[in-house]
């Protein structure tokens, strides 16, 4: 017969609901970590790492039709992207009218003797040209892609200096057309000129937006530390996850074909689907009065929103953003991801503390007196 443990006071035992919450959160955390490690959602919400800018570029037109060929500005004016879905070959010319790129059904070929090959490496164009870089030399073609699509940093389409243009400095509250640009191409040898423009727009007013950003964080903290029930925290969870869904749906996906865009959307959707499933569980728990589990899941969801939103931080203070919907909604959705995520994590700490079940106190059995033997 085992001897009962002796000691002062009473031992404490964790309630079953607390143990279940801990086990469930551990499983969910492992699943979420696996999703975040395997997916790359940031690339879907940013343009090669740039989520927002006060500059913006666009293609205005071409001097001749380009059937099956698409040319667009990326990185808010810093780069050009050409997608060739035709059977023709498109030649892109460099800064001295030398052949720079050939994009056709067999992929992309780049001229190693073109100075543009090296100048385009850096945004400021500050590179030392190798001896072979000569615009008058015979082209030396090197294949850089097997797909008929290519994006390159083109200095003809963006503002090179880190200092804003003089007209922007003189009137920063107004929109400006910085300059018009032209990039020469050829379609199976026939010359075509792509024209466009670079513009600048004033950033959003900080006096309007920053108080809203602070309010989003404060709302999450108050929902956890001050609310009588976990339901306000659940409302914020549902709101922030709705913002994540909108941000996903409103973000254009790049790709040469419909299948490419569908695959990109599917990859970007995976973390949002996990967040949605965990949010449903958290809201259900909160409505049933299980504030502890709702708080634990709120911390997990808040962290996931923060991770999802951080690559898009530029959206909070930039005039132009990547979205297929209104810019205001894009900015609000990113704020709910980043700042709402921080608020949820803060509020979750208060909810876990306030709604944690009281530990059961089990009295320690009295010590058994020894029995004398004859």
- Cα torsion angle, 325, 205, 54, 309, sign: negative
Domain ranges within the chain, ordered by starting residue: 13-47+204-354, 55-200
Strand partners, 194: 62, 183
Which of 19-23, 221-225, 331-335 bottoms out in mean pLDDT, i.e. has the lowest? 19-23
| 270-327 tens-digit pLDDT | 888 989 999 999 999 999 988 888 999 999 999 999 998 998 999 999 999 988 889 9
* CA dist., res. 99 & res. 139, Å (int): 7
| 186-208 tens-digit pLDDT | 999 999 999 999 999 999 999 99
Q: Is the pLDDT of residue 48 over 70?
A: no
Per cent of the chain over pLDDT 90 is 63
Burial level of 197, CB count in 10 A (0-12/13-18/19+)?
middle
Contact present, 82 and 90 (Cβ < 8 Å): yes
Which of 8-22, 250-264, 346-360 bottoms out in mean pLDDT, i.e. has the lowest? 8-22
* CA dist., res. 342 & res. 220, Å (int): 8
Strand partners, 107: 104
196 membership: H or E segment, kind and range: strand 190-200
| 119-159 tens-digit pLDDT | 999 888 888 899 999 999 999 999 999 999 999 999 999 99
pLDDT the model gives residue 353:
87
Which of 27-36, 64-73, 336-345 bottoms out in mean pLDDT, i.e. has the lowest? 27-36
pLDDT: which is higher, 363 or 163:
163
């Amino acid at each position: 017969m085992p001897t009962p443990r002796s000691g002062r006071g009473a031992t404490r035992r964790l309630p079953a609901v607390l143990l279940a919450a801990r086990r469930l959160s551990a499983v969910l955390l492992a699943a979420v970590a696996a999703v975040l490690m395997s997916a790359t959602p940031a690339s879907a919400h940013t343009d090669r790492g740039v989520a927002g800018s006060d500059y913006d570029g666009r293609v205005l037109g071409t001097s001749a039709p380009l059937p099956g060929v698409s040319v667009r500005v990326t990185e808010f004016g810093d780069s050009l992207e050409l997608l060739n879905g035709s059977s023709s070959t498109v030649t892109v010319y460099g800064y001295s009218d030398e052949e720079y790129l050939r994009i056709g059904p067999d992929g992309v070929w780049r001229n190693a003797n073109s100075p543009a090959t090296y100048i385009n490496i850096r945004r400021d164009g500050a590179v030392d040209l190798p001896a072979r870089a000569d615009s008058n030399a015979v082209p030396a073609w090197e294949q850089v892609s097997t797909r008929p699509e290519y994006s390159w940093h083109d200095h003809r389409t963006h503002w090179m200096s880190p200092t804003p243009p003089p007209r922007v400095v003189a009137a920063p509250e107004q929109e400006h057309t910085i300059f018009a640009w032209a990039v020469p191409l050829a379609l199976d040898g026939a010359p075509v000129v792509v024209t466009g423009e670079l513009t600048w727009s004033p950033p959003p007013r900080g006096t309007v937006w920053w108080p809203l950003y602070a309010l989003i964080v404060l709302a999450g903290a108050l929902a956890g530390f001050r609310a009588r029930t976990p339901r306000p925290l659940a409302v914020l969870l549902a709101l922030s996850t709705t913002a994540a869904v909108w941000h996903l749906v409103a973000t254009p996906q790049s790709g040469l074909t419909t299948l490419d865009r569908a695959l990109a959307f599917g990859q970007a959707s995976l973390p949002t689907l996990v967040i949605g499933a965990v949010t449903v569980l958290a809201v259900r728990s909160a409505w049933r009065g299980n504030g502890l589990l709702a708080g634990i899941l709120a911390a997990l969801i808040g962290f996931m929103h923060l991770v999802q939103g951080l690559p898009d931080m530029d959206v909070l203070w930039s005039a132009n953003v990547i979205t297929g919907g209104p810019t205001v909604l894009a900015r609000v959705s990113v704020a709910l991801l980043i700042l709402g995520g921080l608020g949820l994590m803060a509020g979750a700490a208060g909810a876990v503390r306030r709604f944690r079940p009281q530990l059961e106190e089990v009295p320690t059995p009295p010590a058994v007196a020894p029995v004398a033997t004859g």
